[in-house]
Amino acid sequence: MSATPGTTVRRRLRPVLVALYGALVPLLAALLLAAPPAAARTDAVADVPYATLTEVTDFGSNPSNLQMYLYVPESVTPNPAVLVAVHYCTGSGPAMYNGTEYASLADRYGFVVVYPSVTRASKCFDVSSPQALRRGGGSDPAGIKSMVDWVLGTYDADPKRVFATGISSGAMMTNVLLGVYPDVFAAGAAFAGVPFGCFATTDGSEWNSACANGTVTRTPQQWGDLVRGAHPGYSGPRPRMQLWHGTEDDVLRYPNFGEEIDQWTNVLGVSRTPASTDTPATGWTRTRYGGTGDQAPVEAISLQGVGHNLYSYGTMGARVLTFFGLDGSGPAPQPQPAGCKVTATTSAWSTGLTGSVTITNTGTTAVNGWKLGFTLPGGQTITNGWGATYTPASGAVTATNAAYNGTIAPNGSVTIGYQANHGGDSAAPGAFRLNGTACASA
């Protein structure tokens, strides 16, 4: 269900967005050949299928009517990290899913990916209005924050490991998110963006030509003050920032790269003089500020001779994960059982039922920590349960082990249960997945 590029835009935006669209289409056509297909759904759910791009609705406050797409890998870790991947102008959440490798990286490392999607005609994120540039102001950042909150609550995700990355308009939104919600995001990676506040307008326009052309310059202190002013009174830690820009960018011109470095070194309180400089790939110049390691406070990569369409599928996403610390330094993926069997029965009365579910580990190694996924028949809603935490109460349910029964020894079993209301169909679920592995039914 990828969104269709908008055709009705403000007169002043049309030439820029048409140029953007024309430049991005060839790139995306090439990227889509290498990416897995999206498979979205439109019903409101409180959980989603594993390894499938799914649209989630009714996720919380959403003042600008964004869409939320979600990818949860079968190997999702306990307390997973969350990555918000933000699309470019004329794009969509499904297009970002198809055109980047974050879903396949999530399969490998066990984090959850959120793909926000714009519904306004331009398909550009709001990075310019006063509402977008202050905490609690509303607009797109508030909707994205609601998506993050939904994932944190639904998947017991790690609030200290929430990250954002984006391309073009999404890169600008990455700057905005880190400025407005420094207590939410641990780090960001912006591909071909501009500093926080550079695109600000007060006339309702989505486009700021002076900023796009690289003619808006400020001192590092002034840039930093714009970020600090988005959340007045905040004195906690600030998110780290990774910046990418091509020297031949003719849409958001190269001087914006230096202004971003000025801004985030000031925000993070580190020297504008690089702590290290190297060339990790041909034509790339990487400078690090405030540290020399892979997770320096600020990392900036300049791509010589490269234009606006700088993102390269298969080479850059892994470097983003290294900067975020998501490429192996987090929790290990949940163990995948070599085999499992589930026996499920129900005992029903007029409008209610009791369900009993026995999980047997038929493999030769213990399962330490488990999630059991199943779908309740239509009309059934869990009212209470034991032996596990059930989320949500209806539809696609995930039962997560209790503290006392998280280990299932080889040939061992665990029995859990629940009570539910029903609307006539009192049958037990027919299929189960243990830590993403399909189980035999008995």
What residues form DSSP beta bridges with 384? 419
List, in order, residues 6 or more apart from 35 with CB less than 8 Å away. 97, 98, 99, 100, 101, 313
Distance CA 299, CA 265 (A): 10
Q: Are 85 and 79 in contact (CB under 8 A)?
A: no
Q: Catalytic residue numbers?
A: 168
Q: What is the largest CA-CA distance in the chain?
A: 73
In terms of Cα–Cα distance, which of 1, 10, 115, 136 is closest to 66?
Answer: 115
Q: Is the dihedral of CA 99, 100, 101, 107 positive or negative?
A: negative
DSSP-derived pairing of the beta strands 340-348 and 440-441: parallel
Q: Are 172 and 125 in contact (CB under 8 A)?
A: yes
**Cα 309 vs. chain centroid, distance in angstroms?**
21
Q: Is the dihedral of CA 220, 226, 232, 234 positive or negative?
A: negative
List, in order, residues 6 or more apart from 361 with CB less than 8 Å away. 337, 339, 340, 367, 408, 409, 410, 411, 412, 413
DSSP-derived pairing of the beta strands 367-368 and 407-408: antiparallel
Would you list the DSSP string of 244-291? Answer: EEETT-TTTTTHHHHHHHHHHHHHTT--SS-SEEE-SSTTEEEEEES-
Question: DSSP 3-state assignment of 53?
Answer: coil
Q: What's the half-sphere exposure (Cβ side, CA atoms, 13 Å) at 183?
A: 9
What end-to-end distance do the CA atoms of the chain give, in Å?
37
